Amino acid sequence: MRPTRCRRLATFLDDNYLAPLHDLEFARINKSPGACSLEILVTPGQAYSIQASSDLETWEQLGVVTSDTGVAHFVDVNAPAGKRFYRALPR
C-alpha cells in the first residue's frame, strides 16, 4: 500500500471505528444525608455498572443502570457522611 492510501485508511478507521459512540458524563450529583443521587449521560441501551470507593483503590459494586433515552439515574441510599467517589463502567 502506498503511504497516501495508508493515511486515508488510518483516517477512515479513526473517524468511523475508533471514536467513542458517546462520552460517559456525570451530569448531576446531589448529596443529602445518607443518600447520593447520580444523573449520568450514557449511550442509550448500554448497561453500566455503578461503583463507589472511599480511596479510589477499592471499588464496591452498587448496581447496574441502563437507559433508552441516554440519561440514567441512580440513587446510593447508603452513602456515608464522608468522601465517596463514583464511577460508571460499561458492562
Phi/psi of residue 68, nearest 5 degrees: -85, -15
The residue ranges of DSSP E strands in 35-76, in sequence order, are 35-41, 47-53, 60-66, 71-76
**Cα–Cα distance measured from residue 91 to residue 75, given in angstroms and rounded to the nearest whole number:** 19
Sign (positive or negative) of CA dihedral 78, 36, 72, 87: negative
Q: What local confidence, expressed as pLDDT, does residue 17 receive? A: 57
Say what the pTM is: 0.72
Q: Domains along the chain?
A: 21-90 (2.60.40)
The pLDDT tens digits along the chain (91 residues) read 555 666 776 666 666 555 455 567 888 999 988 899 999 999 899 999 999 999 999 999 999 999 999 999 999 999 998 889 999 999 8
